[in-house]
A and B are shown apart, each in its own frame.
Chain A
Amino acid sequence: MTSIFSLFGHGIFLLALILFIVQAKRWGKYWPLAYVLAAIMVVLPVKDWLVIEFSRGYFSDLSMTTIIMCSVYIMNVAGARRLTSSNELKYSVLALATVLYPLTLGLSMLDPYALGFSSHSFYPLMVSSLAVIAFVAWYFSVWQLALVLSLTLLANGLSVYESNNLWNYLIDPIAVIMCLVSLIYGHIGSVSKKFINKINDKVQSDV
């Protein structure tokens, strides 16, 4: 059962990745074709494995953050709603990663990852804190953050993956990379937009 959920997550991730690589947003009315092509590539056999099995082998089970962000991107390509991942979610993920990863990679004797196991004495506090943050995010209409946190709690409670640790449902390096790239890309975009607007204003005033 855990394999089904995990492979489903990797399917979404690969679909988003392929749609991004082929720049399906630019395919206009042919975007469904991009979806079909991407879906076929996800289950293509390469040597003795499927592409999706390589993905699972390399990246392990994907966090709810990654799945939600990839889902948002897939929906964005389809154009059904002009959705983008929220900056609140991205900054939260980056802040968490800044603390979690250096410590879990051996910076000190403190291992925050251990807090995510249900037998750890701080686990109830950690789970309750996440629920409170999720409620606050929901109250202030930060929907994506609220959805990620609620799905994390649900997936962890149901142990839908092999992992028994809350952190694995919440965050992974792919989510961190996506947030980082997205924020940098967004920042460059806004700076270049301002620059172009400035030039346009100057040209118009000269005319």
Chain B
Amino acid sequence: MITKIKKIFVPLLIVIGLALSLSKEQFDEPLFWLDTSLSKAVPEQQAKLSSFKMMPVPTKAVHSATSVELRNGNLLAMWYGGSREGHVDVALYSAEFNTSKQVWSEPKKVLDRYNAANDLNRYIKKIGNPVLIKHPQGPLVLVYVSVSLAGWATSQLNMALSYDDGQTWHASKRLVTSPFINISTLVKNDGVIYQDGTIGITAYHELLGEFSEMVRVTLDGEMVEKYRMTRGKNTIQPTLIVKNEKEAFALMRDSSRSIQRAHYADTQDGGKTWGEFEALDVQNSNSAVFIFNDKKLRSWMVYNDQTRDMEHSRNNLVLAVSNDEGKTWKNVYYFENKELNQDLAEKFAYPWVEPTTNGEYHLFYTWSRKEIKHTVFNDAWLETLL
């Protein structure tokens, strides 16, 4: 009887399995979607540079801010906060910036590890970096890191959607991105949208190898594909500038322990394959960098400049400009510690810049892990730095 089952049942399973596997949905080759709303002309502006503190922050420690522009022109920011990084009480918080009144709303808790565990039907030890992506079809996409096993190197990615501009969030979905018990995929920087509506999450891997990759998912949280950007042990937290539907370049944080420089890589095929990455002449102290374009398609970068103080390398935050699509950079303005006279123990890290349709740029960064600082500037101000 068992032999008969083996003889008939197993080949039948193979044929059905093969047919089902071959009939799975296939997606087109990746082509970047270009957000034209940001390149529209805006009325003549006065140079503007102003700062806001997102206070009161309800937790002792905060880190890793992210932001998107809402449909009403306001900004939604999100970050994680708790007793300290990696503590079990860490939760994601959000607040809304009213651009007409220039005030922040009270921060509110978005989700904690228990909410994530309920959605995902499993144990969650802690949660971390959130990234917000505005999808052209309407919803806001939240991608965030969670850990069940050990440290950050065992992180996993989750995704949730909001159809009411961040007021409520649908249940989180787990993204399976690795064959190694699905561990070690993290996020920090902005994602991209593809022309077929799929999302390119700029992710990175931290277990044994430390490298960058693009994780392509549908709006439903189904994995489409994964594209490796770098290899090896020292290029994480990619940040992207899309030039056209096929071309983009990325800068990455150097996570090595030797001489640390920001790394550069580019793609000619929508991020499917990436050229050999190279170290730039930008000394960066194993800390996050963020790049963005202005309306004249000049590239700008916010980062920690290591050349000023090797020992206290996150004790400054600088804006640099590139006129050759990210190959060479020139420092033009220090957002923090301009005169190099502040308390050296202070750290300014994890920048995020959100360009808005009114021609402004909203910079967020962690201010000594105590608060998220918010600085606004515009194209006219950027022009003054050139």
CB pair A164 B211 closer than 8 Å: no
How does the 8 Å CB contact mask read for B142-164 relative to A, with 1 for contact and 0 for none? 00000011000000100000000
Q: Compute how far the CA of A18 lies from the CA of B126 in the bound complex, rounded to whole angstroms.
A: 27
Binds A, one of B13-21, B342-350, B374-382: B13-21
CB pair A157 B17 closer than 8 Å: yes
Interface of chain A: mostly helix, strand, loop or mixed: helix
CB pair B22 A124 closer than 8 Å: yes
Subset of 25 A-B contacts with CB under 8 Å: A53-B123, A54-B123, A58-B149, A104-B179, A105-B205, A107-B209, A108-B231, A113-B178, A117-B224, A117-B225, A118-B24, A119-B26, A127-B18, A146-B10, A147-B10, A150-B14, A153-B17, A154-B13, A156-B21, A157-B18, A158-B20, A162-B173, A162-B176, A164-B176, A165-B179
CB pair B223 A117 closer than 8 Å: yes
CB pair B10 A118 closer than 8 Å: no
Nearest A residue (CB) for B212: A106
Q: Compute how far the CA of A147 lies from the CA of B7 in the bound complex, rounded to whole angstroms.
A: 11
Of B20, B148, B233, the contact of A153 (CB 8 Å cutoff): B20
Whether a CB of chain B sits under 8 angstroms from the CB of A21 is no
Q: Within 8 Å CB of A31, what residues of B? A: none
Q: Within 8 Å CB of B121, what residues of A? A: 3, 6-7, 53, 56
CB pair B226 A114 closer than 8 Å: yes
CB pair B17 A156 closer than 8 Å: yes
The 10 closest A-B pairs by CB, nearest first: A106-B209, A157-B20, A153-B17, A57-B123, A57-B148, A150-B13, A154-B17, A118-B24, A163-B176, A57-B122
Whether a CB of chain B sits under 8 angstroms from the CB of A111 is yes
Whether a CB of chain A sits under 8 angstroms from the CB of B169 is no
Number of interface residues of B (CB under 8 A): 57
Q: Within 8 Å CB of B21, what residues of A? A: 118, 127, 153, 156-157, 166
CB pair B228 A109 closer than 8 Å: yes
Q: Within 8 Å CB of A104, what residues of B? A: 178-180
Q: Within 8 Å CB of A77, what residues of B? A: none
Whether a CB of chain B sits under 8 angstroms from the CB of A168 is yes
Whether a CB of chain A sits under 8 angstroms from the CB of B360 is no
Name which of A6, A7, A58, A116 has the most chain B CB atoms within 10 A of its CB: A58
How does the 8 Å CB contact mask read for A163-198 relative to B, with 1 for contact and 0 for none? 111111001111000000000000000000000000
Q: Within 8 Å CB of B110, what residues of A? A: none
CB pair B222 A164 closer than 8 Å: yes
Name which of B13, B205, B230, B274 has the most chain A CB atoms within 10 A of its CB: B13
Of B15, B18, B207, B226, the contact of A113 (CB 8 Å cutoff): B226
Whether a CB of chain B sits under 8 angstroms from the CB of A101 is yes
Whether a CB of chain B sits under 8 angstroms from the CB of A78 is no
Q: Compute how far the CA of A109 lies from the CA of B235 in the bound complex, rounded to whole angstroms.
A: 13
How does the 8 Å CB contact mask read for B195-217 relative to A, with 1 for contact and 0 for none? 00000000001011111010000
How does the 8 Å CB contact mask read for B12-36 relative to A, with 1 for contact and 0 for none? 0111111111111111000000000
Q: Compute how far the CA of A6 lies from the CA of B122 in the bound complex, rounded to whole angstroms.
A: 10
Q: Compute how far the CA of A118 lies from the CA of B21 in the bound complex, rounded to whole angstroms.
A: 8
Q: Within 8 Å CB of A164, what residues of B? A: 24, 176, 222-224
Which residues of B does A touch, CB under 8 Å?
Answer: 6, 10-11, 13-27, 114, 117, 121-125, 148-149, 156, 173-176, 178-183, 205, 207-211, 213, 222-228, 230-233, 274
CB pair B180 A173 closer than 8 Å: yes
Q: Compute how far the CA of A127 lies from the CA of B26 in the bound complex, rounded to whole angstroms.
A: 14
CB pair B148 A58 closer than 8 Å: yes
Q: Within 8 Å CB of B211, what residues of A? A: 106
How does the 8 Å CB contact mask read for A33-59 relative to B, with 1 for contact and 0 for none? 000000000000000110001101111
How does the 8 Å CB contact mask read for A118-162 relative to B, with 1 for contact and 0 for none? 111001100110010011001000010011011111111111011
CB pair A152 B17 closer than 8 Å: yes
Whether a CB of chain B sits under 8 angstroms from the CB of A84 is no
Distance from A168 Cβ to chain B, minimum over Cβ atoms (Å): 6
Distance from A201 Cβ to chain B, minimum over Cβ atoms (Å): 38
Q: Compute how far the CA of A59 lies from the CA of B228 in the bound complex, rounded to whole angstroms.
A: 24
Q: Compute how far the CA of A128 lies from the CA of B14 in the bound complex, rounded to whole angstroms.
A: 10
Q: Compute how far the CA of A108 lies from the CA of B174 in the bound complex, rounded to whole angstroms.
A: 26
CB pair B13 A162 closer than 8 Å: no
Distance from A145 Cβ to chain B, minimum over Cβ atoms (Å): 10
Q: Within 8 Å CB of B13, what residues of A? A: 147, 150-151, 153-154
Distance from A52 Cβ to chain B, minimum over Cβ atoms (Å): 9
Q: Compute how far the CA of A106 lies from the CA of B20 in the bound complex, rounded to whole angstroms.
A: 31
Whether a CB of chain B sits under 8 angstroms from the CB of A100 is yes
Given A53-B123, A156-B21, A138:B11 Cβ within 8 A: yes
Name which of B123, B175, B182 has the most chain A CB atoms within 10 A of its CB: B123
Of A6, A106, A146, the contact of B208 (CB 8 Å cutoff): A106
Given A105-B208, A117-B226, A118-B26, A168:B182 Cβ within 8 A: yes
Nearest A residue (CB) for B124: A57
Given A57-B123, A105-B180, A138:B25 Cβ within 8 A: no
